[in-house]
Amino acid sequence: MSDEDDTVGPLPSEMLPEGDADNEDIVGPLPCEAEESEESEFKPPPAKKKKRGAIHGLSASCDGELACTVGDDKTAKVFDVLNFDMISMMKLDFIPSGCCFIYTPKDEISTLAISDQSSPKIRIYDARSKNDLLHTMDRLHESPVECIVFNPIFGCVVSADSDGMLEYWAGPSENYGIPRTVEWSFKSDTDLYCLLGNKTHAINMTVSSNGQTLAVLGADRKVRLFRFSTGKLIRIYDESLEQYSKLQQAKQILPSMEFGRRLAQEKELDRSEFRHSCNLGFFLAYATLLGIKVVNVVTNCVVRSLGGPENLRFLQLAFIPPRSMFASNVAPGVGSGTSLCTPSLEMLAMATEDHHTSSTSTSAAVQAQQPVLVCTAFKKNRIYLFTNREPHDIKADGDSVTPGSAAERDIFNEKPTKEEVLAATRDSATAASRLAGSAILHTTLGDIHIRLFPRECPRTVENFVGHSRAGYYNGHIFHRVIKGFMIQTGCPLGTGTGGKSIWGGEFEDEFHPSLRHDRPYTVSMANAGPNTNGSQFFITVAPTPWLDNKHTVFGRVVKGMEVVQKISNIKTHAKNDKPLEDVNIISVTIKDLGAGI
């Protein structure tokens, strides 16, 4: 963790998701309401009957009591969040594109705004009744409305249409006009025309928990921050593909093949119906090509980067702060008896001072109550959780957790389909034929017996086993030896500059929390940076924890440690660490899983 972590407070700090849970289909809109059990273990809510058709919008009320979904089945379903119960279903005569609760706890009516997919109309309903239409706004926009967001601090609604227009308006208490709480009377005094001027439109919006900042994610992949009260533009974050392409050319941030794959996925995402989301406070969180960025909007610095190593394109984000913050950190200006039960990242900054000045027992209690960042991913039917915990609880002996235990990352709460069962059966049969459980390196100084980890890092083991069975390593020398550190081999040129995978190029890293460089005789892949594995590997002769999450561990030496030590102690050239006398791999023997070592 960096020095700025003291400023960030208890934000999720782990780069990889702690867990993920099944859903019946690809996950679309993501609510800002979620629960964390007393045991700090994620538990999916009770299963509900699958909604007919796609869900176009989902909204949670600011008091945390209600949630609503709208979809292409022309219905709006209102749920009691605490009881996981549907309390109302409205039948609509149009296909809705989105919805948003536009009331505060002090309002008498639980008003709900629903936009029309094919017209610029916004209809206002009483969420607790059936089809009680209160008002229709048909002159506010001239094109279909893309998204709606409510600011409970100002009692103001912001809607955005497909032409790029942003409109402020109030609820029924001010007859749906411009709210008196904003500091402008004419739209020309604001920067709300900037999307229209740049020929783009909003695809998602969010408001900070103190109501002072509006974040707008445009179709041009730029995040614009506005001062809510004045409508003035205060900052722009450029996340366009052109910007990343320039960065890739100037400084290679990803291997060329991986960057090309992600670029193609971004273009496919642009053509799809899936949308991004962001979460705003003193810290703005949004998903990008390189993972999830958390930006301090005060210092204008990236303070967290989450999910970068994952082969996923994250989309929707929602934040669950530690439970203690619900009671002690109410957003300022909400009013008497009012709290936001859908807090943004800003609430964490508000808790920072108390976090550092509290007693030891209080700090321990707060630390135990984990913050959670909940995410969806492109074309994935799972929900991913980022916390301060690692994906697995690691046992003291370094073994992986028992599959199916609470510490396992993947939560399979949905029954797999027949197609998934058949695919899994075929994959397991294929994997069993490819992989093995152990290997013996026959060297000119003796045999080295290695236990492999095909379940934890299947592609890495498959690559090693494939090369070994093909005789690729036969005759290779240990070209780099550093006494007290490691011995390295697997380069066909004997210089450390050659070698490729069994697929003809480089392949991705496979980091596993139970496999660390925490002991000597660890077998790990050599590389030239992230996701550049080829054929070279090394064996450590001492604990090397600084290599964790940089090199893929795929084996442990279980016999022949004295041979490893003998190789590590031979004399080498001072400049390149190459042994003065060659030590060769004669051959490699592979043994199947369960065959013993």
Residue-range domain boundaries for the chain: 1-22+274-415, 31-37+52-238, 435-591
Catalytic residue, candidates 150, 378, 538, 554: 538
Lowest mean pLDDT among 70-84, 100-114, 340-354, 362-376: 340-354
Is 480 part of the annotated catalytic residue set?
Answer: yes
Can you tell me the distance from the alpha carbon of 506 to that of 68, in angstroms, rounded to the nearest whole number? 46
Distance CA 319, CA 34 (A): 8
Query: Closest by alpha carbon to 512, among 457, 581, 473, 561?
Result: 457
Confidence band for 3, pLDDT divided at 50, 70 and 90:
very low
Q: Is 123 a catalytic residue?
A: no
Assign 3-state DSSP to the chain and report helix, strand, coil percentages, each to 5. Answer: 20, 30, 50
Cα separation, 75 vs 151, whole angstroms: 25
Top CATH class of 31-37+52-238 equals mainly beta
Question: Which residues sit opposite 384 in a β-bridge?
Answer: 20, 375
CA dist., res. 135 & res. 69, Å (int): 20
Could you say which DSSP state residue 174 is in? G
Q: Residues with Cβ < 8 Å from 154, sequence gap 6 or more?
A: 179, 181, 182, 211, 228, 229
Residue 155 and residue 172 in contact, taking contact as beta carbons nearer than 8 Å: no
User: Strand (E) positions, 251-300?
Assistant: 278-279, 283-288, 291-296
Single out the catalytic residue among 274, 551, 554, 556. Answer: 551
Determine the pLDDT at residue 36.
42
Write the pLDDT tens digit of every residue in 149-171.
999 999 999 999 999 999 999 98
Indicate which residue of 269, 485, 519, 549 is catalytic: 485
Which residues sit opposite 217 in a β-bridge? 204, 223
Active-site annotation holder among 527, 531, 533, 536: 527
Task: State which amino acid sits at residue 470.
Answer: A
CA-based torsion, 288, 320, 514, 416: positive or negative: negative
Q: In the annotation, is 551 catalytic?
A: yes
Q: Per the residue annotation, which of 547, 549, 565, 584 is the catalytic one?
A: 547
Q: Given this chain, do its domains 31-37+52-238 and 435-591 carry the same CATH topology?
A: no
The tokens for 59 are 């909204």
Catalytic residue list contains 348: no
pLDDT at 521: 96
Annotation says 326 is catalytic:
no
* Beta pairing class for 410-411 and 19-22: parallel
Across the range 487-496, mean pLDDT stands at 94
Q: In this predicted structure, what is the pLDDT of residue 48?
A: 52
Least confident of 392-396, 472-476, 502-506: 392-396
Listed in sequence order, the residues at least 6 apart from 216 whose beta carbon sits closer than 8 Å to its beta carbon are 160, 166, 195, 202, 204, 205, 223, 224, 225, 226
The per-residue pLDDT for range 208-221, each reduced to its tens digit, is 888 999 999 998 98
C-alpha span between 142 and 138 (Å, rounded): 8
Q: Which of 131-135, 221-225, 298-302 has the lowest mean pLDDT?
A: 298-302
Residue 271: how many CA atoms within 13 Å on its side-chain side? 5
Q: Tell me if the pTM is above 0.75.
A: no
| Stretch 436-453: mean pLDDT | 94
Which tens digits make up the pLDDT trace of 388-404? Answer: 766 654 443 444 444 43
Percent of the chain with pLDDT over 70: 72
Beta bridge partners of 126: 111
Domain 435-591 has CATH 1.10.10.1200: no
What does the pLDDT read at residue 515? 94
User: What pLDDT, on the 0 to 100 scale, is given for residue 392?
Assistant: 52
- pLDDT score recorded for residue 321: 65
226 is catalytic: no
Catalytic residue among 123, 201, 449, 480: 480
Give the max Cα distance, the chain.
88
pLDDT score, position 58: 87
State residue 259's pLDDT score: 83
Is residue 173's pLDDT more than 50?
yes
Look up tokens 């999910």; give the residue: 307
Does pLDDT of 33 surpass 90? no
Q: Is 283 a catalytic residue?
A: no
Question: Is pLDDT at 478 greater than 90 in this prediction?
Answer: yes
Of 151, 279, 488, 533, the active-site residue reads 488
When pLDDT is cut at 50, 70 and 90, the band that residue 522 belongs to is very high
Give the tokens for residue 393: 């609880």
Give the pLDDT confidence score for residue 142 in this predicted structure. 94
Say if CB 538 and CB 504 are below 8 A apart. no
- Determine the average pLDDT of the residues in 353-381: 58
